[in-house]
């Protein structure tokens, strides 16, 4: 089984998203999967021009020559594709959205009605990879992911596939405290859950309700996270204003 992560953080290899992805992939590898983590910020991906030339002039191929030629091939060669990103202003970061827009050649221009009476584009290929979402947000709570959850459910339907797991982590900035003597064991416990999720995805094509429920629990009480988070923002602002 091939599990490919497309990481869409503007911070590349420095962000909190990478911490989550690495632990998830450890579990997938333990279950025997071949894995790859592609950092989109390191790739040359130009904006879609919206002229539909990938449907009309060069069917199935984008006329823009950049790293998306290779990334689309890797996307289609995967059994499971993981979209990993931090939430920016209630949605995916721009680098992730540009990547998704450029997947358009993988579909056909024709319209069709699905089994639910909704409409989408027809598929160009017989089979598409299954989807997983991994995301974190700086704010505490699960409501931060309402928009992206709906978006990827619809995106999976658009690509004639399944969204088999959603892993959302509020309090994302807590990962910056990995070396803190009090936070280290709490973060370590959460990392073990991520590894379990990666293993379950490979073995069962899903993540158990128990694992999801445990992963969604606050790592620290939200009231404390907000208190120390606001104090950190005040400290940083004071440093910049010196």
Report the interhelical angle of 209-216 vs 184-204 (nearest 10°): 160
Mean pLDDT per 10-residue segment, the chain (242 residues): 96 91 98 98 96 96 96 98 96 97 98 94 97 96 96 98 98 86 92 98 97 96 92 88 78
Q: What is the pLDDT of residue 28?
A: 98
CATH number at residue 93: 3.40.50.360
State how far the Cα of 93 lies from the Cα of 86, in Å rounded to an integer: 7
DSSP one-letter string for the chain: -EEEEEE--TTGGGSHHHHHHHHHHHHHHHTT-EEEEEEGGGS--PPP--S-HHHHTSTTS-SS-STHHHHHHHHHT-SEEEEEEE-BTTB--HHHHHHHHTTGGGEEEEEEE-TTS-EEEEESSS---EEEEEEE-SSSSSGGGHHHHHHHHHHHHHTTS-EEEEEEESSGGGGGGTT-TTTHHHHHHHHHHHHHHHHHHHHHSS--HHHHHHHHS-SS-HHHHHHHHHHHHHHHHHHHT-
Predicted model pTM: 0.95
Q: What is the pLDDT of residue 240?
A: 85
- Could you give the count of Cα atoms lying within 13 Å of 116 in the half-sphere of its Cβ? 7
Q: Rg of the chain over CA atoms, in angstroms? A: 19
- Residue pair 200/207 in contact by the 8 Å Cβ criterion: yes
**Domains contained in the chain, number:** 1
Report the interhelical angle of 16-30 vs 184-204 (nearest 10°): 50
Q: What is the pLDDT of residue 131?
A: 98
Q: What is the sign, positive or negative, of the torsion defined by CA atoms of 112, 79, 105, 91?
A: positive
- Residue pair 212/201 in contact by the 8 Å Cβ criterion: no
State how far the Cα of 71 lies from the Cα of 54, in Å rounded to an integer: 16
Q: What is the pLDDT of residue 176?
A: 86
State how far the Cα of 111 lies from the Cα of 170, in Å rounded to an integer: 37
Q: Which two tokens stand for residue 224?
A: 């404390």
Q: Which two tokens stand for residue 205?
A: 């094509």
Domain range spanning residue 61? 2-241
């Amino acid at each position: 089984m091939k599990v490919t992560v497309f990481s869409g953080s503007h911070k590349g290899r420095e962000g909190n998203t990478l911490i989550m992805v690495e632990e998830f992939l450890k579990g997938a590898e333990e279950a025997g999967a071949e894995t790859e983590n592609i950092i989109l910020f390191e790739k040359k991906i130009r904006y879609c021009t919206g002229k539909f030339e990938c449907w009309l002039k060069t069917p199935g191929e984008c006329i823009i020559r950049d790293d998306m030629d290779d990334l689309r091939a890797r996307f289609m060669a995967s059994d499971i594709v993981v979209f990993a990103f931090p939430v920016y202003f209630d949605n995916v970061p721009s680098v992730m959205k540009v990547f998704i827009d450029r997947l358009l050649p993988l579909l056909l221009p024709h319209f069709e009605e699905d089994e639910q009476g909704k409409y989408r584009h027809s598929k160009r290929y017989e089979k598409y990879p299954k989807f997983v979402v991994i995301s974190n947000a700086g704010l505490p709570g699960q409501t931060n992911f309402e928009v992206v959850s709906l978006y990827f459910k619809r995106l999976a339907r658009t690509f004639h596939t399944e969204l088999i797991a959603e892993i959302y982590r509020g309090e994302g900035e807590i990962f910056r405290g990995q070396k803190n003597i009090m936070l280290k064991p709490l973060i370590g416990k959460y990392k073990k859950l991520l590894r379990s999720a990666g293993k379950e995805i490979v073995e069962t094509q899903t993540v158990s309700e128990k694992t999801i429920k445990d992963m969604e629990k606050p790592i620290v009480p939200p009231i404390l996270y907000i208190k120390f988070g606001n104090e950190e923002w005040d400290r940083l602002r004071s440093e910049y204003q010196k």
